[in-house]
Amino acid sequence: MSTDQELPESQTTEAEIVSESTESSHTEIEEHEYTVEELKQELEATKQKAHEAWDKAVRTQAEMENLKRRTQKDVEDAHKFALTNFGKALLPVFDSVVLGLQAATGESEEVKKFREGSELTIKQFEALFAKFNILAVDPIGQPFNAEQHQAMLMQEVEGAEPNTVINVFQKGYTLNGRLLRPAMVVVAKAPENNS
C-alpha cells in the first residue's frame, strides 16, 4: 500500500516539473519582434556576404584554371626541351667529327676509309638531330639576326648587302624552335666613303 501512495506522488512530481520547465522556458526566452528596417538591414548584410562568397568562389576557380594551364605548359615544356643540355653537350662532338672530316686530306686508302667512316657518323648525327627536332641554323645570305647569330667579324664585301651574313664559322642549332647555340658568322658592312 505504501508503494501505491508513492506512485501518485511521483507522477504528480513529474507533471509539475514539466509544467514548471515549460513556464520557465517561456519566461526566459523573450521573442524579439523584428522591424521592417531591421529585416532589410539583415537582408542586405546577408546579400553582401553571399556576394563576397560568390566572388571568392569565382576567383578561386579562375586561379585554379590558371594554375592548371601553367602546370600543363610547364609539363609540355619539360617534355619538349628535356634534351636541351644533352643537345648542347652533343654539338661540340658533332663539330669535332665535321672538322676531322675536313682535315682528312690525301688519297691514301686509310684516309679514304676514315673519310667514309666520318661521313657515316655525320649522317647518323644528322638523323638523330632530325628525330629530336634539332635543326641547324646556317644563315649564309640572310640578314643578320642578333637572336640567332653571333657576329664574329664585320667585313666589307663588294656586291654584298650590308648587314647580311657572308660566312659561317660555326653553325647554330635550335631545339623545337628554342636556340641551343647561335651561329658564329661574318657580317657584311657598308663600304666606307673615302672622300
> 65 to each of 61, 62, 70, how far by Cα in Å?
6, 5, 9
Residue 70 CA to residue 103 CA, distance in Å, equals: 49
pTM of the complete model? 0.60
Sign of CA dihedral 26, 30, 36, 40: negative
User: Do you know the residue count of the chain?
Assistant: 195
What CATH topology corresponds to 79-189?
Answer: Nucleotide Exchange Factor Grpe; Chain A, domain 2 (2.30.22)
* Segments making up each domain of the chain, as ranges: 79-189
Span 2-61, pLDDT tens digits: 445 454 544 555 555 555 555 544 445 567 788 888 889 999 999 999 999 999 999 999
DSSP state at residue 194: -
pLDDT tens by residue, 35-51: 888 889 999 999 999 99
Pairing of strands 183-189, 149-156: parallel
